[in-house]
């Protein structure tokens, strides 16, 4: 079977009837941003199914507008923490936090493949997409308009060094005993540590006690960090939602989104750190202490994807990216290999993620950084072709790691990394 056929086969096999799982056993439910990326893969061969993926995600919308990070349509004893631990959700049991809002970005791309076919489908989910973005603005907004996360899982970059200092302050004394399930599926060396896991669960317990009042959790909870990844993805998603608002003819919503976008440059500037990396970078900031995480993660390189106009800083960011890539055989490591905390196989502390490469390269290409964009694409192609549709990849050896037959890696292949996606 050629790689395109294999990728399509993975999406079909991870299809649970209208929604996909990231991969069997390790992640047996519908994850938010995984699902949005997966729609891009389906769109290359089955547009109806691509829309269905986005619609199924929208079915989980909370009354306050939030789209949760996991939808539990059933329980699964093989996964922890499942629905009985979270005790959240409205129409569908869910987790109590969100994930990066890739859905509007994916919806625009799927829509533009066939606007006539897509318009009624877009109309069906548009109000819920807009409600989610408004929720971000209300309940996840930092002091300068940056987007904050209330749990490392919310960022989608679970164990990035961005959270280390803020996590250290999360109290774990009251945590009840629990058994991890993730390390039964994949090597513990590739997963977050048990100290990190304790804090993830302590944060979950705090949110559950707060009745999943998402505004209160952001304002008073033990963890609130302004996240460059979430900030840049949301800015990009707002631009795409604005285009979709115009497509459905909703001028009032378009005006609201445009007003929020006026803050984009201020929000990004508030995350900039001159001293980070070789020439400066966008870094996370702990909103409880004001301290910045001095780590150059791949989230910083989503600034182009956000469509920022700050040419001097973006030039410096390109220099920092060049320095990061000098230390890696493959682009783009999730943490600068020069950082002493870099670990090439541990999840978000070094490995390459195909979806992040997809976003970084699209941003670079749109900003006219064509050589860098091409490098990221070719590297992604080579990694998948040689290591398979793995969850993530070692930036030094190129080996695949984590889960196998991964939906978002297959989707990124079909939509962009495959030679057949060229042009
Ligand atoms: C891990 C990743 C997260 C992803 C999930 C399912 O938790 O860190 O980004 O959504 O797995 O693939």
Express each pLDDT in 197-225 by its tens digit. Answer: 999 999 999 999 999 999 999 999 999 99
pLDDT tens sequence across 143-169: 999 999 999 999 999 999 999 999 999
> What residue's CA is closest to ligand 1, atom 3?
156
pLDDT tens sequence across 376-397: 999 999 999 999 999 999 999 9
pLDDT score recorded for residue 283: 98
> What residue's CA is closest to ligand 1, atom 12?
22
pLDDT score recorded for residue 105: 99
Residue 158 annotated to the active site: yes
Q: How far is the CA of 247 from the centre of ligand 1 (A)?
A: 31
Q: How far is the CA of 348 from the centre of ligand 1 (A)?
A: 10
Written as six digits, the tokens of 21 are 């799982």
- Ligand 1 near 158 CB (within 6 A): yes
Asked if the model's pLDDT at residue 423 lies above 80, the reply is no
Q: How far is the CA of 44 from the centre of ligand 1 (A)?
A: 23
| Average pLDDT for 164-182 | 93
Catalytic residue of the set 53, 139, 158, 253: 158
Residue 55 annotated to the active site: no
Report the predicted TM-score, pTM, of the whole model to 2 decimal places: 0.98
> What residue's CA is closest to ligand 1, atom 2?
156
| Average pLDDT for 336-351 | 97
- Ligand 1 near 27 CB (within 6 A): yes
């Amino acid at each position: 079977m050629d790689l395109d056929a294999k990728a399509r086969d993975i999406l079909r096999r991870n299809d649970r009837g209208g929604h996909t799982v990231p991969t069997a056993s390790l992640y047996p439910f519908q994850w938010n941003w995984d699902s949005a990326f997966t729609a891009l893969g389906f769109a290359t061969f089955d547009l109806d199914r691509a829309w269905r993926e986005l619609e199924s995600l929208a079915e989980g919308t909370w009354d306050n507008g939030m789209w949760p990070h996991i939808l539990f349509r059933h329980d699964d004893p093989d996964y922890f923490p499942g629905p009985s631990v979270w005790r959240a959700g409205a129409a569908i049991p869910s987790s109590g936090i969100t994930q990066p809002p890739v859905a509007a970005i994916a919806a625009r791309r799927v829509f533009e493949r066939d606007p006539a076919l897509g318009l009624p489908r877009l109309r069906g989910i548009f109000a819920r997409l807009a409600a989610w973005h408004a929720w971000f603005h209300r309940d996840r907004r930092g002091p300068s308009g940056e987007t904050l996360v209330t749990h490392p899982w919310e960022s989608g970059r679970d164990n990035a060094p961005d959270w280390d200092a803020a996590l250290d302050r999360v109290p774990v004394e009251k945590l009840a005993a629990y058994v991890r399930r993730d390390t039964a599926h994949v090597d513990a060396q590739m997963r977050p540590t048990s100290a990190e896991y304790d804090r993830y669960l302590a944060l979950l317990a705090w949110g559950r006690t707060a009745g999943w009042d998402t505004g209160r959790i952001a304002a008073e909870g033990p963890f609130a960090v302004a996240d460059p990844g979430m900030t840049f993805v949301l800015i990009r998603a707002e631009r795409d939602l604005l285009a979709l608002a115009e497509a459905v003819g909703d001028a009032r919503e378009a005006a609201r989104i445009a007003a929020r976008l006026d803050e984009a440059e201020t929000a990004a500037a508030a995350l900039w750190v001159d001293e980070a990396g070789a020439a400066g970078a966008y870094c996370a900031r702990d909103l409880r202490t004001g301290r910045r995480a001095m780590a150059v993660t791949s989230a910083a390189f989503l600034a182009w994807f956000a469509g920022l106009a700050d040419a001097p800083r973006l030039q410096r960011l390109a220099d920092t990216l060049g320095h990061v890539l000098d230390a890696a055989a493959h682009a783009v490591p999730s943490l600068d290999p020069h950082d002493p905390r870099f670990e090439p196989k541990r999840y978000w502390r070094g490995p390459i993620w195909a979806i992040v490469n997809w976003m970084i390269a699209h941003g670079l290409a749109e900003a006219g950084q064509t050589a860098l964009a091409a490098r990221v694409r070719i590297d992604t192609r080579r990694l998948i072709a040689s290591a398979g549709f793995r969850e993530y990849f070692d930036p030094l050896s190129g080996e695949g790691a984590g889960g196998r037959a991964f939906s978002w890696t297959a989707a990124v292949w079909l939509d962009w990394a495959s030679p057949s996606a060229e042009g």
